[in-house]
Amino acid sequence: MDCEVVAIGTELLLGQIIDTNSAWIGEQLALHGINCRFQAKVGDNVDRIVSAIRIALDRSDAVICCGGLGPTQDDLTRQALAAVMGVELTFDEDRADLIRWMFRGRNRRMPDNNLTQAYRPAGSEFLETQPGTAPGLRCPVGEGGKQVIYAVPGVPWEMQQMVSVEIIPDLQRRSGVTSVLRSRTLRTWGESESGLAERLSERISELDELGNPTLAFLASGAEGLKVRITAAAPTEEEAVELLAAEEQLLRGLIGDFVFGLDDQTMEAVVLAALRERHLTLAVAESLTGGLLGARLSAVSGASDVFVGGVIAYTAQVKREQLGVPDGPVVSEETAAAMALGVRQRLGADVGLAVTGVAGPTESEGRPVGTVCFGVALGDDVSTFELRLPGNRQAVRELTVISVLDALRRRLTI
């Protein structure tokens, strides 16, 4: 089963938007044993969209078109699909009602042109999954519909839901893929890619011999360094067994750096560890300005552990709100006072604090990237200082995962 991706939008060709959707879809297809040998980008022009889709159909069994399903004049995917199928666009009262209903639910006036989204090529069907106001499409082509074109919106979260929930399972049914591909990702923090590769070098050579399972390193910045295991087997069970055995083996070699699996973020892991111990958490942030709290509260159900925090961006707020003593604010002493102060102030069990120099310029004579951390469990506070690489944004993000990892280690090791 070969499936191509055609990303639609002049803004992609002009480089105004980076096409991350195609990469995400390509990864999902690969993880589910479906080949993606070509991907194309084309602008908002019916003839060129049609020609890009036809070229893809000449080579592959399926095509996923991404983008161009909005309500405006430069959203032309519906027309292009009708042309490829050689049919007219038909108005779907049923889906029109759904769209009207969605706007009502949001107390938003629906501009009339939104109803253009209720048109579909005759013989096609709308995807059931519709997270936003733009419906997705399934268009059978070739005799007996032996080929298929899917159309999804360019909005990432809408696209991702349609692909995961409906399109991938659909493609697997059609392909009758017997051997299943499964993968598991070990998420690590605290060791470089080359460092991990060194620790795993023997096993990597062994796996190069075996050919299955395979390993891949995925550097993911402030999300940590991911080590992905991919295993192929006749059945799901056997694939999962292979993954479990390999995970066991890898943990023996690099377990000290593994903080989570697959979609487990550092913040989710830390919240779970606190929840398990019936501990609540408060944060005090200087250079991160709220980023630490933002990441913690991004996790659903964080509120039973994370009570809140104080963004002490200026020295005055640090002293008045957190009782930080006079002296340099980029110091372990200040980090300790912030962690204890916010914990007591907000009545939490654990206090986490960061202060430092995000840049672009140095501060208090300390270079950009200098960060001090405070971790207070009750009144027992530990502090440390790090020098982080990168620009303002990188320093702020690396600060967040570094201090969370420090708390994780105090709780679990």
> Of 275-314, which residues contact a copy of itself (CB under 8 A)?
283, 285, 287-298, 300, 302-303, 306-314
Site for a copy of itself in 213-232 (CB under 8 A): 216-221, 226, 228, 230
Q: Using CB atoms within 10 A of its CB, is residue 249 exposed (0-12), middle (13-18) or buried (19+)?
A: middle
Q: Are 118 and 95 in contact (CB under 8 A)?
A: yes
Site for a copy of itself in 151-190 (CB under 8 A): 154-155, 157, 183, 185
Site for a copy of itself in 367-396 (CB under 8 A): 369, 387-394, 396
Looking up tokens 């080359």 gives 194
Give the residue, chosen from 8, 32, 69, 70, that forms a contact with a copy of itself under the rule CB under 8 A: 70
Residue 254 is a binding residue for a copy of itself (CB under 8 A) = no
Closest to a copy of itself by CB, 164 vs 314, is 314
SS3 call for 175:
helix
Q: Are 377 and 409 in contact (CB under 8 A)?
A: no
Choices 122-130, 191-199, 324-332, 372-380; region in contact with a copy of itself by CB under 8 A: 191-199
**Residue 87 C-beta: closest distance to a copy of itself, Å:** 25
Q: Minimal CA–CA distance to 187: which of 161, 217, 142, 152? A: 217
256: amino acid identity, one letter: D
SS3 call for 313:
coil
Choices 165-173, 253-261, 268-276, 315-323; region in contact with a copy of itself by CB under 8 A: 315-323
Q: Minimal CA–CA distance to 286: which of 370, 215, 169? A: 370
Q: How many CA atoms lie within 13 A of 60 on its CB side?
A: 24
**Residue 269 C-beta: closest distance to a copy of itself, Å:** 17
Q: Minimal CA–CA distance to 161: which of 88, 169, 320? A: 169
Give the residue, chosen from 258, 279, 346, 377, that forms a contact with a copy of itself under the rule CB under 8 A: 346
Residue 42 is a binding residue for a copy of itself (CB under 8 A) = yes
Choices 69-77, 136-144, 170-178, 373-381; region in contact with a copy of itself by CB under 8 A: 69-77
**Residue 110 C-beta: closest distance to a copy of itself, Å:** 8
Residue 362 is a binding residue for a copy of itself (CB under 8 A) = no
Residue 123 is a binding residue for a copy of itself (CB under 8 A) = no
SS3 call for 303:
helix
Closest to a copy of itself by CB, 34 vs 83, is 34
Q: Helices 20-31 and 168-175 meet at what angle, rounded to 10?
A: 40
Our measurement of the distance from residue 310's CA atom to the centroid of its chain's CA atoms, rounded to an integer in Å, reads 27
**Residue 327 C-beta: closest distance to a copy of itself, Å:** 18
Give the residue, chosen from 34, 40, 269, 340, that forms a contact with a copy of itself under the rule CB under 8 A: 40
Choices 171-179, 193-201, 235-243, 375-383; region in contact with a copy of itself by CB under 8 A: 193-201
Q: Are 369 and 387 in contact (CB under 8 A)?
A: yes
**Residue 78 C-beta: closest distance to a copy of itself, Å:** 15
SS3 call for 95:
helix
Closest to a copy of itself by CB, 25 vs 350, is 25
Give the residue, chosen from 55, 87, 98, 273, that forms a contact with a copy of itself under the rule CB under 8 A: 55
Strand-pair partners of 387: 370
Q: Helices 266-276 and 392-412 meet at what angle, rounded to 10?
A: 30
Residue 111 is a binding residue for a copy of itself (CB under 8 A) = yes
